[in-house]
Amino acid sequence: MTDASATPSRGPDTAVAPRLIATDLDGTLLHDDKTVSDRTIAALAAAERAGIEVFFVTGRPARWMGVVSDHVHGHGLAICANGAAVVDLHRGGRIVEVSPLERTVALAVVDALRGAAPGTSFAVERTGGIHYEPQYPPLLLDPAAVVAPAEKLLAEDFVTPLGPEGSLPEDPAGAPEAPAFPDQPVIKLLAHHPELDPDAFLALARTVAGGLASFTRSSPTALLEISGPGVSKAGTLAHCCAERGIAPEEVVAFGDMPNDIEMLTWAGTAYAMANAHPDVLAATARRTASNNDDGVAVVIERILQDGHRQR
């Protein structure tokens, strides 16, 4: 890790003015207490007023987007679940696009990881909420969740309770409402191991099952996030940008963990947070201050100052 007080690097100037800012949330835009600072709120609003779109691009599910739902202007869209879902925050967090993880593929991944890493427990993230195995350590208990073996949670005849994806309650464990997709496809499989090193667990999973699905991680623990083949933050962001006629060189991206690397390497200009994972630091040339020191806002303010001077 780098010094959180490190001076943000400007990097080489480019002739292309940014048209879109893509930022991760946890460990990047949000402070460690999961709040958005007043400075960051002001910087995001100023960017939108200057004609620069802002996309939140996160591993979080739609129901955990309440922390930033008031700070998206214009289009109102966010990319959730590591690219598996596009969410309309202006419509209460309704999922408008989904790239599911096929049930049979998820079952094959479960089987492969059970064999390669005994002790692994699983959770199944659907458009309507999360369900998990008894051994899985949930971050936030969901009263609507089904607790059962992964094979049952992924069975063809599994019926989920109505989930909260149709709205954004203040409390992620709030009362469920009608889901955006009645059949509730799987958007992410989560795999946790109580003992393995997080990076070693990721490498092992990619070795034994990388041909089946996309594997990444964003937690400090050995918690893997598994999506459909080819699904990533970068792929969905590229799709959203193409719809708007925005080229990669017109995008400025921010991130801190391995699930951000593809997005950071795709964007024309990418910043690693001072608190970023070593692999993220190795993948990017530019640095900014830590999430707790408002590193995203620091860069946005400079972009807007440079744009003002060029007028």
**Same structural domain, 127 and 208:** yes
Domain boundary among 227, 251, 284: 227
Quote the pLDDT of residue 142: 75
171 lies in some domain: no
Q: Which domain holds residue 214?
A: 103-158+183-227
Residue 11 lies in a domain: no
Return per-residue pLDDT of the chain as tens, 311 residues: 333 334 444 444 445 789 999 999 999 999 999 999 999 999 999 999 999 999 999 999 988 898 888 777 777 899 999 999 999 998 888 899 999 999 999 999 999 999 999 999 999 999 988 999 999 997 666 777 899 999 999 998 888 765 444 333 344 434 334 334 457 899 999 999 999 999 999 999 999 999 999 999 999 999 999 999 999 999 999 999 999 999 999 999 999 999 999 999 999 999 999 999 999 999 999 999 999 999 999 999 999 998 744 44
Domain CATH for 74: 3.40.50.1000
Q: Where are the alpha helices (DSSP H) in 21-63?
A: 38-49
What phi-psi label fits residue 64: left (phi over 0), alpha (psi between -120 and 50 degrees) or beta? alpha
Whether 70 and 127 map to the same domain: the answer is no
Residue 12 within a domain:
no
How is residue 179 written in tokens? 């889901």
Q: Is there a single domain that holds both residue 207 and residue 112?
A: yes
pLDDT score, position 199: 97
What DSSP line would sit under 268-302, residue for residue?
SEEEEETT--HHHHHH-SEEE--GGGTHHHHHHHH
C-alpha count within 13 angstroms, C-beta hemisphere, residue 154: 25
Q: Backbone phi, then psi, for 45, in 5-degree steps?
A: -65, -40
Identify the three-state secondary structure at position 140. coil
Residue 123 lies in a domain: yes
Give the pLDDT of residue 262. 98
* Residue 64 belongs to some domain of the structure: yes
Please report whether residue 33 resides in a domain. Answer: yes
- 244 and 220 both lie in a single domain: no
In a domain, 264, yes or no: yes
User: Number of structural domains, the chain?
Assistant: 2
Whether residue 52 is found in the same domain as residue 69: yes
Q: Which of 171, 201, 227 is the last residue of a domain?
A: 227
pTM, two decimals, is 0.87
Do 254 and 219 share a structural domain?
Answer: no
Q: Are residues 84 and 110 in the same domain?
A: no
Question: Do both 54 and 121 map to the same domain?
Answer: no
Q: Of 199, 227, 255, which residue is a domain's last?
A: 227
Structural domain contains residue 2: no
11: left (phi over 0), alpha (psi -120 to 50) or beta: left
30 and 46 within one domain = yes
- For residue 125, the domain's CATH number is 3.30.1240.10
| Pair 24, 83 in one domain | yes
Decide if 79 contacts 237 (C-beta within 8 A): yes
Same structural domain for residues 43 and 187?
Answer: no
Instruction: Identify whether residues 194 and 297 lie together within a single domain.
Output: no
